[in-house]
Amino acid sequence: MIIEKIDKSRFTPEIFNIQSFGTAFADHMLVCSYKDGKWGEPIIKPYGKLEFTPAMSVAHYGQGIFEGMKAYKGSEGDVFLFRPEKNFERMNKSAVRLDMPEIPEEIFMEGLKALVDLDRQWVPDIYGMSLYLRPVMFATEEAITARSANEYLFVILTAVAPNYYNKPLSVKVADRYSRAANGGVGYAKAAGNYAGSFYPTHIAREEGYDQVIWTDDATHTLIEEAGTMNVMVRIGDKLLTAPTSERILNGVTRDSMIELAKSSGIDIEVRKITVEEVYNAHKSGELKEVFGVGTAVVVNNYVAVGYGDERLELPDLPLEESYGKSLKKKLVDLQMGISEDPFGWRIKVEEKLVEA
């Protein structure tokens, strides 16, 4: 690993007041290029522009995958990652489906830790805030022909993360547009999945909603997931979430919430959820909560779910009565190093991993 340190840090404490997500980049980034069938040496260098040809294939054919994770700072100043091996594994699953080279564990893990260690002052020690970590890989080959590229760049970017949404969301159940096909790339964190979702989200916004809850593309009868969140539904005192499938991203937060729910004695069931049962549960007064879970949003308890022309309003339960809010607190407490970690999810980033 080559380290090129920035001459003078751009850090100022005011950066922690940032309101927008994914724009306040820390001092450094990691870059590593793939060519002639092999990965080169990773380089940590000042964050900034690079030279690319506009013929680079990701801009034409969309071979791009990414991950989203966070670094947290505890009250003692320790910096933690949360289940980073999950993101590493998922990144390589995405790589296989997009016909891209897998990234070696050492480059991903050691690179990530070294980068976070070097920019540790950028990790906010503020409850609910974090440094967002964005591993990304994209095709850079200078060739406009529709085939897998032979050259790629793996990059890790980091940016100070305020709350992703500073309000509870309202979501529209998809009845016209879709995010993923059977036999498609829905389970991968593939660039194209997001681009395809923006227009339907735009339409939903015009109808007064913030996000879309995706359903299966053939019948629009099954609840799948939301924009950048898996979805959990509470009917009565039972918490439900859809099984992952080739159409649904296997979220790390979803998995962690399932474990936390179980260990909290919440009755949670992983099974298919129909739009109809959610609608009926609302009519009968049994629909207590619907919430989205994901790294960026953590947990967002929805205020309303749109179904056709109807807007199903949801109650705003207090923390102690809400599964979503109470599990969110458990999760964040664990991530920030406030509570015990019986699962072994928290990984401390050692200091001075890197000799610069």
Chain positions contacting ligand PLP, by CB under 6 A: 68, 225, 228-230, 249, 251-254, 294-296
Closer by beta carbon to ligand PLP, 254 or else 325: 254
Task: Return the residues of window 180-199 that contact a second copy according to CB under 8 A.
Answer: 180-185, 190-196, 198-199
Over its C-alpha atoms, the chain yields an Rg (Å, rounded) of 21
Least spacing, CB of residue 81 vs ligand PLP, in Å? 13
From the centroid of its chain, how far is CA 163? 13
Look at residue 215 and give its three-state secondary structure.
strand
Binding partner of 52, given ligand PLP, a second copy, none, CB within 5-8 angstroms per partner class: a second copy
Binding partner of 185, given ligand PLP, a second copy, none, CB within 5-8 angstroms per partner class: a second copy
DSSP 9: -
Contact residue for a second copy among 179, 234, 288, 325 (CB under 8 A): 179
Instruction: Rule CB under 8 A: say whether 20 interacts with a second copy.
Output: yes
Binding partner of 46, given ligand PLP, a second copy, none, CB within 5-8 angstroms per partner class: none
* CA–CA dist 225, 331 (Å, integer): 20
Closer by beta carbon to a second copy, 45 or else 238: 45
Least spacing, CB of residue 325 vs a second copy, in Å? 23
Instruction: Rule CB under 8 A: say whether 304 interacts with a second copy.
Output: no
Task: Return the residues of window 275-294 that contact a second copy according to CB under 8 A.
Answer: none
Crossing angle between the packed helical segments 84-97 and 105-118, to the nearest 10 degrees: 130
Binding partner of 252, given ligand PLP, a second copy, none, CB within 5-8 angstroms per partner class: ligand PLP
- As given in the structure block, the two tokens for residue 194 are 């997001």
Strand partners, 45: 29
* CA–CA dist 46, 8 (Å, integer): 10
Closest CA to 225 of 233, 235, 234, 213: 213
Per-residue buried b or exposed e for 169-204, using 16+ beta carbons within 10 Å of the residue's own CB: bbbbbbeebbbbeeebbbbbbbbbbeeebeebbeeb
Closest CA to 203 of 191, 214, 211: 211
Closer by beta carbon to ligand PLP, 34 or else 197: 197
The one segment of 77-85, 90-98, 237-245, 259-267 that binds a second copy by CB under 8 A:
90-98
Binding partner of 249, given a second copy, ligand PLP, none, CB within 5-8 angstroms per partner class: ligand PLP
Closer by beta carbon to a second copy, 53 or else 284: 53
Instruction: Rule CB under 8 A: say whether 230 interacts with a second copy.
Output: no
Closer by beta carbon to a second copy, 140 or else 241: 140
Task: Return the residues of window 23-42 that contact a second copy according to CB under 8 A.
Answer: 23, 25, 29, 31
* CA–CA dist 189, 179 (Å, integer): 12
Count how many Cα atoms sit within 13 Å of the Cα of residue 95 in the half-sphere of its side chain. Answer: 20
Closest CA to 30 of 143, 124, 155: 155
The one segment of 16-24, 232-240, 257-265, 326-334 that binds a second copy by CB under 8 A:
16-24
Task: Return the residues of window 155-174 that contact a second copy according to CB under 8 A.
Answer: 155, 157, 159, 164, 174
